[in-house]
Amino acid sequence: MYSRVPAGRARRLTDTADVVFFTDPAGSDMLSVISCFGGGLEGNRSTTVGPLRLTYSVHTAPGSDPGGNVKENQDAWAIKERLGSQEMALFGVFDGHGQEGKAVSHHVCATVPRLVARSALCKPATLEPCLSACFVEANRALRRTASIDCDLSGSTGVVAVVTAGGKLAVANLGDSRCVAGRVDPRSGKVAAVALTSDHTPLDQAEADRVLASGGRIASYMLGDEPLGPPRVWLRDLNVPGLCMTRSFGDAVAATVGVIDSPEVAVHALRPEDRYLVLMSDGIFEFMDSQEVMESVHAHAARGTGPGEAAKHLVKEARRRWQQEEQDIIDDCTAVVIYTSHRPPSAGAGGAAASAAGGAGLGGGLSLGLGLGGGGAAAAGDRLAGRLESTLRLSGTERHHAAAGPAARGATSHRMTASGSGSGSVSGSVSGSGSGSGSGSGSGSGSGSGSGSGALRPSGSLQSKAGIGGFGFGRR
């Protein structure tokens, strides 16, 4: 189940956003999953997975119909910074098509992350069967939903899961993509590395399956000339005209070989893999993956974050649509992730001080937001990187929360914690937790009894409604 965030709890988003925050299976982490249908994150967010810091953002824009009218955005995206008890992060893009395309993409966007988090196979060693099973089950759940007619409507889906061990599992249906940006340490140049393949009739193996299942493959015809890409049709009827061979929904196309089994691959992330981009086909219709990565790399080299990189990708993709197709523009969505390896903490003393301070801060967060209690230090870590804030230890040393647990562990104070730690969030968010430990750093100063932390959120927190209306799409 999912519910809209109460006013004041959601991070501020772009004007076209329709945002839903989900609880995890235990209902204890309201900040764990963000799913946005038709809008993007404003600014950048960060999370840590093992030694990796993932700084990410999203931008999306609705397309327009042949008359130039803005249509509803049928793209959806999901981000889950933790998968149950596993230290893994999930990113996904879903591109709906057909009359019910928005409803379909919303449904699978809500369902897939929840199924993955709840699966007994949600472990680094079994992500491949986990993702395969969850995609298929999400489609079954969609077909059982009486309020959504998915006979001639469906959605793509591409999901990437990053593990603490440096693995990246990618599953996809249809023609949305996940691409890595690999930077040569000597030349500094970036190369796009395709992590998915498009499931379309242009792939001979995909086409053969459709033909063997009794389907027909042909483009639209303008007189005697083919118009546009090859599409899947029933043998004797001019439906559905689908330009992909795997998808969620599309019940009619499923009778002639269009399947819901994703292609899943597990990759080892290299230190030189600096970027990940998940995108709907609106982005790469007139841009290739190398152009996408060169654009992202150029933004990173200038010191701008993934938010600006994602906005530029969408803007450039739309410009090229207008150049090629005039009024017709497809929905465009880009999830851009910068990856970096966190340095190790500066000694056991710093780590102990960090744990004590984290326990106090985590306790305050857990009670103040009603997150169900427990795991105070973990809650403190989850908060780091999500909100721009200042963490204070011993009242004198400031550390930016986005720097993560490693930086907090590198404090130059000596701290001994015993009994309990306490923490508070300014305003209405406060509480207490417990933690113990001791250690010393390289600097001077001492304290005892408790670790403390204070958070000062910056910026306004709100969500905005999306744009309605239905328009013609290319699918």
Q: Is residue 365 part of a domain?
A: no
Q: Quote the mean pLDDT of the chain.
A: 75
Instruction: Take residue 285 and report the two structure tokens written for it.
Output: 């219709």
Q: Which two structure tokens, joined as six digits, stand for 175? A: 């023609």
Per-state percent for the chain, helix, strand, coil, to nearest 5 = 25, 30, 40
Q: At what angle do helices 306-325 and 289-301 cross, to 10 degrees?
A: 140
Strand partners, 20: 35
- Cis check: omega of the bond before 240, within 30 degrees of 0: yes
Distance of CA 444 to the CA centre of its chain: 42
Rounded to whole angstroms, how far apart are CA atoms 279 and 286?
13
Please count the structural domains in the chain: 1
- How confident is the model over 314-351, as pLDDT tens digits? 999 999 999 999 889 999 999 999 999 876 554 434 44
Find the helix packing angle between 127-143 and 101-118, rounded to 10°.
140
Residue 194 has pLDDT above 90, yes or no: yes
In this predicted structure, the answer to whether residue 263 has a pLDDT above a threshold of 70 is yes
Give the CATH number, domain containing residue 66: 3.60.40.10
DSSP state of 123: S
- Phi first, then psi: give them for residue 137, nearest 5 degrees: -65, -35
- Helices then strands, counting H and E runs in the chain, come out as 10, 25
24-54 pLDDT, tens digit each: 444 433 334 566 666 788 889 999 999 999 9
Q: What is the pLDDT of residues 284-311, one digit of tens each?
A: 999 999 999 999 999 999 999 999 999 9
Q: Measured in whole angstroms, how far is the alpha carbon of residue 355 from the centre of its chain?
A: 28
Q: What is the mean pLDDT of residues 261-282?
A: 97
User: Is 287 strand, coil or helix?
Assistant: coil
> Is 172 domain-assigned?
yes
Q: Which domain holds residue 127?
A: 18-199+243-341
Is the pLDDT assigned to residue 397 strictly greater than 70?
no
Residue 160 falls inside a structural domain: yes
Can you tell me the mean pLDDT for 142-147?
97
**CA atoms of 18 and 233, how far apart (whole Å):** 34
Helix or strand or coil: residue 251? helix
pLDDT score of 327: 87
pLDDT band at 175 (very low <50, low <70, confident <90, very high): very high
| Residue 147 counted as domain residue | yes
Rg (CA), the chain: 24
Is 447 among the domain residues? no
* Cα(162)–Cα(164) distance, integer angstroms: 7
Question: Per the domain annotation, does 217 fall within a domain?
Answer: no
Rounded to whole angstroms, the Cα distance separating 145 from 155 reads 15
Amino acid at 316: E
- Taking the C-alpha atoms of residue 397 and residue 447, their distance in angstroms, rounded to an integer, is 13
Average pLDDT for 131-159: 98
Q: Strand ranges (DSSP E) for 201-282? A: 215-222, 225-234, 240-242, 248-249, 263-268, 273-279
Of 36, 21, 48, which Cα lies nearest the Cα of 466?
36
- Indicate whether 71 belongs to any domain: yes
Does any domain span residue 159?
yes
Q: How far is the C-alpha of 408 from the C-alpha of 385, rounded, in Å?
A: 12
H/E run at residue 310? helix 306-325
